[in-house]
Each structure stands twice: as structure tokens, then as C-alpha cells.
Amino acid sequence: MTPVEPGRSAPGLRRAMRRPGIELVPPVPASDDALSRPPSPLEIWIDRAFRHGSRMVAWATVALVFYIVWDIAVVAAPSVREHGLALVTHSTWDANRGEFGILPAIVGTLYTSVLGLTIGTLFGVSVAIFLSEGFLAGGVDTVLKALRLAEHPLWMRLPTGIENLLRMTVELLAAVPSVVYGLWGIFVVIPMVRPVADWLHGHLGWIALFGTTLSGPGILPASLVLAIMVLPTISAISRDALSDVPPKLREASFGLGATRWETILGVIVPTASTGIFGAVILGFGRALGETMALAMLAGNANLISWSMFSPANTLAALLANHFPEAGKLEVGALMYAALVLLGITLLVNVIGTAIVQRADASLKGLR
Amino acid sequence: MRTALTTPWVASFLIWSAACMATPTLAADNITLQGAGATFPAPLYQRWFSEYNKLHPDVQVNYQALGSGAGIKQFTEGLVHFGASDAAMTDEEIAAVKDGVVLLPMTAGSIVLAYNLPDGPKELRLSRAAYVGIFLGKITKWNDPAIAAANPGAKLPDTAITVVARSDGSGTTYVFTQHLSAISDDWKNGPGTGKSVNWPVGVAGKGNPGVTALIKQTPGSIGYVEYAYALQTAMPMATLENKSSKYVKADLEAARRALASVALPADLRAWLPDPAAPDAYPIVTYTWLLCNKKYADPKIAEALKAVIRYGLADGQKFSAELGYVPLPADVATTVAKALDSIS
């Protein structure tokens, strides 16, 4: 073990030095037997058992996914056979008359997700840049230097500490339960956006986006809450992508005379853009499947409207609302809706994963 | 095909309920009764069961408020000793139960139109045409002539009406839409009667709490909730026109008059879509317990009968304080008689 590995950054090394388990001086073996002794049968057995065990668990997880899809598909099959594509294009959901259509729910799901994602991306990427470019740490560092504390063993940890604290606070948003977001949306967000929405509708009502009044729950409050819910996903992954940009690119950019902003916007963000895009796609997957907060905030009305103040419905909310009391026919249609949602989410996630993988591959030559 | 989905659930539920039942039996000769169903009478039932348990510590009743539909489903599949539903079981549903069904009306409640009108009058009167029109989306402003006509002298604001409905399937929706279908052909041929219907206008909240939150947060809104719920959350309730063209305030007395006006049929399935008594509140419903005619274990049958008898007698005194309508004395006697057919 060499004391300094070439790829290792200074903080990582410092951490390694502090950790008691790792000794930087290679330990001298007690005797030569310790190295040359072949593994005992028990060790071989444990090794094999572990390998097979983890392989089995891994495959069981994959099998579980297929089992769930298969199970849903079996229940949905009669409905798929009966309604075919009509379920996706029809827009009334009336279990009493056996009319099932999920077009408004599909449109509502995509509308709230895209709007929420747009807002969430704006904030998430900003947070990621702020945290990865050392704005905060740099500022704190300047203050410490002015106070002549920058070399103090305790105070010198402050810049990184504050940055970590902020990062963890943003990521803590992911730990808030969905139902709390829903309640917060009803009691805080809706009353807060109502005056803005009324003004926009009153003055700019001719624009289709502001075409209706906000009666209470609707697409805009749902999207705002959704934006906060996807923010931690987007900021965490974008931050990783941004800090993975090789330092030599930044140095080269500064060396050519670019300012800090020119470097960030012209070099670093474009280099990390595939990673950021992957973060957005993963956030999209999260937004599509969000149920409770949207069931409480979207308004559960089967409407298709351009207006972001209009109530809407989403696939996940439709399932949550109708499943407990559904009869046999309705369960089939709901399972069909679940398959559609699963399909959309799967597609989005596959695209996201592919993009993140390509991002890694394209950066390979730069490292 | 359905079994593919339900089997794992059934299995896990059986294991779970077996585990629940095994623990107390080890301690003493205790009896645990399992029940599931309607959320609407759940506060009252849970009160009964806990009070009964205080008097008879050897009998414990677990009641899960899962919803009327789930109650009927679990009862039919024999997963619970008794079910509960706001909508009485249909003949078809009854035929599916092996051990026979006894339907017992246990309590009653009314459904009210709660509203949020910041500058509105103290008492809001709604004619039949007005509230059907509101829920059909034909009346969209609070100062509509149809509303103003019934509220002479009242200052009604020029704000839009937001209708709030239940988004999940529920017995409350069933009773409310049944009433609307009974008084309006437009409703009957339009959205119709059901545990969830295709609402022409408005937004929807999940459960009574969801509807209540939306009404409270949305100025100009109106929605239907159970009386007990509106009472607890102190929401203003509209005074409604009944079949005899009288405006009746939503209270327990008016609901009791509605119950008294309808005689119970032999199978105890009494519907009151539109009670005719002059001072009756128009939207009232019984809620039923579903029991088997025959139980394999006589101890279970005896314990269940004792609990229900307690609910019919002493239990009724909790009704008023929780916002439910106590059963009229003759109804309670009829139900107690029906109870004897359980063995």
C-alpha cells in the first residue's frame, strides 16, 4: 500500500489518515506461513456460500420486479382485451356505467411532472452549482482569513462543514413524508399562490396557461410541491456530476482568461450536462410515481385543460382513490392504468440510466 | 385470475390475524372478534367496543375502518366475523355468502352540505333545484337567482362556487347520490347513483378529512360530509328543502324524524332516499352490521350477539354526543329480535 495514491484527493487522504483501521506503513507479516498458507476448506465454503447467496438475492430482486409486472398484467389482461387502446384515449371514468378512460390522468400526470420538474430543476441545479463550486466555502474561507483563523485546526474545517450541512439539509427534503407535503400544500401553498393566480388570471387570462381561476387544489400547487419533492434527487446527482468535472478543465479555462461565470456556464455545466440531464430524468421518474401529495393537491377532477390553475387528475392518484372500493371490472381497468404508469416510468428511467452511463463514458478520456 | 392477486394477501392476512388471535387465547379463555367495514360509523363502533371491553374484559373486538366495500368483501370471503357497510348488501351479494347474512341497522346519520362563504349570510337555505343545480354545475355563482330566491334579504357574494366531492369510493357518496337521483331526473340520467360517480364539476378530496380540508381552505366552496364530521370541525351547514317543501336545519332531531317516517321491512334493508315526513331532514341513512346466520363456533356467536345487544341498548346513548342519530325505540326492538336468528 503506497501512502499517497495518485488519484486520491487531499481531503480523502486526510480522512484515511484519521481512520484508525488503516495504517499507512505496510504491516510486516508475522511469518511467511501466513501468506503462503492455502485457504482452509471452511474458508472456501464460506466464500462460495457468500457468492451464491448474494447471486440468489440479486436474482430474487430481479424476479420480484418481473413477478409484480406479471401479476398486474394478469389482472389487467381482461380489461386490455376489452378496451384495447380506447382506455388510453377515452376521457370519462365512470365505474357505474363501466366507462373507463385515463387520458385526463395521463395528461395530468405528465403536466404536473413536467411543470414540477422544470421548477425543481431550476432550483436543484442552482443548489448543485452553489455547493460544488465552493461559493459558500470560499466566502467562509475569506472571512476566516480576515480573522486570521484559516490555519486554526478547528476553524479550518468550518467551510467544508457548512457546505456539508447545507447539502444534508437539502437532501433532508427527501425524508419528509409525502402526506406531510400534501397537508403543507393544502394549508400553506394553496393560500399562498391564490392571490398570484387570481392576479395572473385577471390580467393575463387570455393566455391559455392562466385560462381558469384557481379554486383551490390544481395543477400549479401540485407542481410546486412536486418541485420541492424532486429537488433533493436533482441537486444530489447534479452536484456529483459537477464535482466530477476534472479540475484541469477548470484550470485550463481560467488559464485562457475566462472569468468564473464564463467557466461555470461555458465549461463546467456543459461538461456535466449529461449527468445533470440524467438527474432530471431520475427526478421525472420520482415525480410520475408520486401519489399521496398529488391525490391531496391536484383536485382529482377528470379534466384536460391548458390552464395551470385548473384541477386535474394523475394516474397514481386515480389508483389510490379508486382501488379500495373497486369492483372486478374497475380493478381490471385500474390495473391497466397501473401498467400504463409503469410503462411511462420504466421508459423514463431507462432513458435516464442510459444518459448517466453515457455521461460517464464521455468523461473517460478527460480523467 | 383474481386469485392470483388476492392469494398472497389472503395468506398474509390469515397469518397476521391468526397471530393476533393466538396471543390473547394463551393468556386466558378470551374471545377476540374481528370486524371490518364502513368508516362512517367507526367512531361510534369503536366507542362501543372499548366500553364493552371495560365491562367484559374477556371479549375484545377489533374493528378496522377500511370502507364499506372492503367490509363487504372481507365479510363475504369469511376473513372477519362481522362486516359493516353504509350501503346494505344487495341480493346478489347476499347470495354469495355461504353461512347466510343478517343485516342489522345499528345507527343512522345524516349527510350535510358544508360550505365556506366568508361574507355569506348566517343561515344559507338551498332549495332542491338549487343544490342539484350546484352539483350538476348549472349554478356557478353564489348570487344565482335560484339561491337568492330562497334567501330573501341575504347578501350573497358574486363569487364562483367550487364543488368539493369525495375522490375515493365511499358509502357517503352512495347515499348522497342516491338522494340526488331520487329528487332529480337530470341527476339520475346524468351522474347517477354510486360509491363513486363521474362528477360534472369541481374538485375532489380523499376521505371526509380531505373534503373538510378543501372546504375550509377554499372560499366559495360547498361539499357533502357526514353530519358528525361537520359538527366536530365546526363547519357551517346549509339548511335544505325537503320533500314537503319545508326548509330543515341539519340536526339530530330532524334526522330522527326522517327515520321515524320509514317503516323497516322484514329484511331490515330500509332505504330513505327522500323521506316524506314534513319536518324530516332529507339526506339520512341507516348503517348496517353484517353478520352470518350461523357461526361454526357458538362462543363467537354468543359473544357477538352480546356485543351487538349492548350497542342497541346502552350503546345508543353515545350516539348523540358523537353526532349519530339514535335508533328509534321500535327499530331497536325489531333489530334485537332479528339478532336472535343468529346462532
Residues A35-89: tens digit of each pLDDT = 678 888 999 999 999 999 999 999 999 999 999 999 999 999 998 988 888 888 8
CA atoms within 13 A of residue B243's CA, in its CB half-sphere: 17
Candidate from A237-241, A262-266, B12-16 with smallest mean pLDDT: B12-16
Please judge whether A99 and B198 are an interchain contact, meaning their C-beta atoms are less than 8 angstroms apart.
yes
Cell numbers standing for residue B69 = 366495500
Which residue of chain B comes nearest to A327, CA vs CA? B69
Q: For residue B92, what pLDDT is reported? A: 83
pLDDT tens, residue by residue, A172-225: 998 999 989 999 999 999 999 999 998 998 888 888 888 888 888 999 999 999
Mean pLDDT over all residues of chain B?
85
Cell numbers standing for residue A54 = 448474494
Please judge whether A215 and B160 are an interchain contact, meaning their C-beta atoms are less than 8 angstroms apart.
yes
Q: How far apart are CA B253 and CA A15, in angstroms?
A: 75
Do the Cβ atoms of B240 and B183 come closer than 8 Å?
A: no
- Judged by a CB distance cut-off of 8 A, whether residue B233 touches chain A is no
| Mean pLDDT score, A248-265 | 91
pLDDT tens, residue by residue, A304-346: 888 889 999 999 999 988 887 787 888 899 999 999 999 999 8
3-state secondary structure of B58: coil
Nearest to A217 among B70, B170, B203 (CB): B203
- Of A132, A182, B201, A21, nearest to A124 by C-alpha is A132
Q: For residue B20, what pLDDT is reported? A: 47
Q: Which residues are within 8 A (CB) of A29 and not within 5 positions of it... i.e. 6 or more apart?
A: A35
- Checking if the pLDDT of A13 tops 50, the result is no
Per-10-residue mean pLDDT, chain B, length 343: 48 51 51 88 90 90 85 88 87 85 90 90 90 93 91 87 89 90 91 88 87 90 91 90 89 87 82 84 91 88 90 88 86 87 82
Q: How far apart are CA B196 and CA A42, in angstroms?
A: 63
C-alpha triplet A214, A217, A220: angle, nearest 5°? 65
Q: For residue A16, what pLDDT is reported? A: 46
- Of B112, B122, B147, nearest to B133 by C-alpha is B147
- Judged by a CB distance cut-off of 8 A, whether residue B23 touches chain A is no
Do the Cβ atoms of A272 and A193 come closer than 8 Å?
A: no
Give the distance from residue A54's alpha carbon to the nearest chain B alpha carbon, in angstroms: 25
Rounded-to-5 percentages of helix, strand, coil across chain A = 75, 0, 25
Mutation choice for B interface testing from A69, A319, A321, A335 by most B CBs within 10 A: A321
- Please give the span between the terminal C-alpha atoms of chain A, in angstroms, as a whole number: 22
Give the distance from residue B329's alpha carbon to the nearest chain A alpha carbon, in angstroms: 33
Chain B residues with beta carbon closer than 8 angstroms to that of A324: 66-67, 69-70, 168-169
Domain boundaries, chain A: 82-133+178-366
- Of A335, A302, A88, nearest to B198 by C-alpha is A302
- Please give the span between the terminal C-alpha atoms of chain B, in angstroms, as a whole number: 34
Chain A residues with beta carbon closer than 8 angstroms to that of B202: 215, 301, 311
ipTM over 0.85: no
Q: For residue B11, what pLDDT is reported? A: 53
Q: How far apart are CA B239 and CA B234, in angstroms?
A: 15
Residues of A with CB under 8 A from a CB of B: 71, 74-75, 77-78, 92-97, 99, 183, 186-187, 190-191, 213, 215-218, 295-296, 299-302, 311, 317, 320-322, 324-328, 331
- Judged by a CB distance cut-off of 8 A, whether residue B205 touches chain A is yes
Q: How far apart are CA B163 and CA A20, in angstroms?
A: 66
Beta strand ranges found along chain A (DSSP E): none
pLDDT tens, residue by residue, B94-139: 888 888 888 999 999 899 999 999 887 888 999 999 999 999 999 9
- Judged by a CB distance cut-off of 8 A, whether residue B220 touches chain A is yes
DSSP codes of every residue in A264-322? IIIIIHHHHHHHHHHHHHHHHHHHHH--HHHHHHSB------S-TTS-B--HHHHHHHH
Please judge whether A324 and B192 are an interchain contact, meaning their C-beta atoms are less than 8 angstroms apart.
no
CATH topology of domain A82-133+178-366: MetI-like fold (1.10.3720)
Q: For residue A364, what pLDDT is reported? A: 62
* Residue B7 burial class via C-beta count within 10 angstroms: exposed 0-12, middle 13-18, buried 19 and up: exposed
- Judged by a CB distance cut-off of 8 A, whether residue B181 touches chain A is no
Please judge whether B196 and A77 are an interchain contact, meaning their C-beta atoms are less than 8 angstroms apart.
no
pTM of the model: 0.79
- Checking if the pLDDT of A244 tops 50, the result is yes
